[in-house]
Amino acid sequence: DAKTTQPPSMDCAEGRAANLPCNHSTISGNEYVYWYRQIHSQGPQYIIHGLKNNETNEMASLIITEDRKSSTLILPHATLRDTAVYYCIVRVAGYSTLTFGKGTMLLVSP
């Protein structure tokens, strides 16, 4: 799996959008970008994934640059419950395991 680079921490005010960046400059053509998050002492939770098009679901939006070398996870209206470590992972869907980096610790404050 290709490696990713994320900022170690970010702050966000409650109700504002949280934009979490991820660099994956060595991503291969068949690798997807996955985002997971881990709330303290719980198992990680899948958020969203994409190949090259922007994606949106009930939790978040994923913006992938045209060259696919970076992406941004957007939580449109962050709440205190979104405080967690967010992991950006690139992988071939279905045929490889998840390689977690250090992720970004997002702190949402009132």
Partner 1 sequence: EAGVTQSPTHLIKTRGQQATLRCSPISGHTSVYWYQQALGLGLQFLLWYDEGEERNRGNFPPRFSGRQFPNYSSELNVNALELEDSALYLCASSDFRQTSVDEQFFGPGTRLTVL
* Cα of 37 vs its chain's centroid, Å: 8
Q: Which residues pair with 35 in a beta bridge?
A: 48, 88
Measured between alpha carbons, how far is residue 60 from residues 2, 11, 19, 35, 88 in Å? Answer: 23, 17, 10, 10, 13
Residue (87 or 108) nearer to partner 1, CB: 87
Q: Which two tokens stand for residue 28?
A: 């291969």
CB of 10 to partner 1, least distance (A): 18
Question: If binding is defined by CB under 8 A, does position 102 make contact with partner 1?
Answer: yes
Size of the residue set binding partner 1 (CB under 8 A): 20
Q: Torsions phi, psi of 43, nearest 5?
A: -70, 150
d(CA 14, CA 75): 11
**97 binding partner 1? (CB under 8 A):** yes
From residue 16 to residue 55, what is the string marking binding to partner 1 with x (rule CB under 8 A)?
----------------------x--xxxxxx--x------
From 9, 13, 69, 101, residue interacting with partner 1 (rule: CB under 8 A): 101
Residues in contact with partner 1 by CB under 8 A are: 38, 41-46, 49, 87, 93-103
